[in-house]
Structure 1
């Protein structure tokens, strides 16, 4: 859902949540600018949605989001890796390929933000 907001809006929301929920955790998916542009071209066009103009994107969530506020402890892992162990023999070669493209090339990731104490 954050894809459809400006970075400043996401930052304000996260900081507001840190104020309201010290000790809380927020988890969401994110991707780099290239991936988000692809989402806009495919998913939004397919859904016939035309009035979305803001696209939140990050490549290195711990570094980029972590700089927003000292109370944020940010970690991330690859989006595809967040759901499957790619070393498991039951994982198909195609899924491994998608994981490599998505997680590495497009920086698709699951982001976890733990909210620390007060400022």
Structure 2
């Protein structure tokens, strides 16, 4: 099969960077990160690995990206144990295949992103039974009507590396609307503190030459999120790197020191919101 060429500086490249990070982590630790869809996808494309993804900093970023997906999948599986017929909604999905990893044969999966991203996703990944790709702007909540939500079945949303790029007021409006419209649901997403946004901008976005992108949303006190809506019943911050399973000694002494610092300082955190 002829490989698909991905040009530098295109939308396709920005989507493949986090995907490559997960592939690289799986190559290093196949017993910890099993994303076979990711591996199959990279067998079909011609992709030049950015210099920033090489060396120790790149290794840390790849492990963090793969760990984030593991965290999201863990939260979804836990929800599906109690709600096996639930909707699993990937907000800002890119080329993420988490639903395929957690699919229990009963749940319905929804992948949401901008139209150009969904077009690429349709080309490279397609859809499967009980899985749907929806082209939309997350801030235009008309997408709510495209989710076959039944309160008795439940719904779990997750967003990986998405809300950083939203204005705080937009996130508040979206969360409040979701909490009201999807009672009994759960939302899982990653966040950093305000101090962490500067580091994120300097280390990752500028490093990958994404100069026109800025970051806005941060969470210093997770309890303030409950104040956004009377329909948010709980808001919990879990450690990003150690909250869903312990660190692995194979990462290396220095890397694990960095990871423990990021968790203790809440520079990296996984937040779970429950809706009444």
Q: What band does the TM-score fall into relative to the shorter chain?
A: 0.7 to 0.9
Number of paired residues? 114
Q: Which residue of 2 aligns with 1:5?
A: 166
Task: Report the Cα distance in structure 2 between the residues aligned to 1:90 and 1:42, rounded to whole angstroms.
Answer: 24
SS in 1 for 2:206: helix
SS in 2 for 1:113: strand
1:93/1:60 CA distance change after superposition, 3 Å: farther
Task: Report the Cα distance in structure 2 between the residues aligned to 1:80 and 1:89, rounded to whole angstroms.
Answer: 13
Q: With the length of structure 1 as denominator, give the TM-score of the two structures.
A: 0.81
CA deviation digits over 1:28-63, x for unaligned, max 9? 0011012111111121112322233341011221x1
Unaligned runs of 5+ in 2: 1-161
Contact 2:186 2:273 in 1 (8 A): yes
Larger Rg: 2
Q: Which residue of 2 aligns with 1:42?
A: 203
Alignment of 1:5-24 (within 5 A): 5-24=166-185
C-alpha RMSD of the superposition? 2.1
**Larger helix proportion of the pair:** 2
Q: Which residue of 1 aligns with 2:254?
A: 94
Contact 1:24 1:114 in 2 (8 A): yes
Unaligned runs of 5+ in 1: none
1:74 aligns with 2:231: no
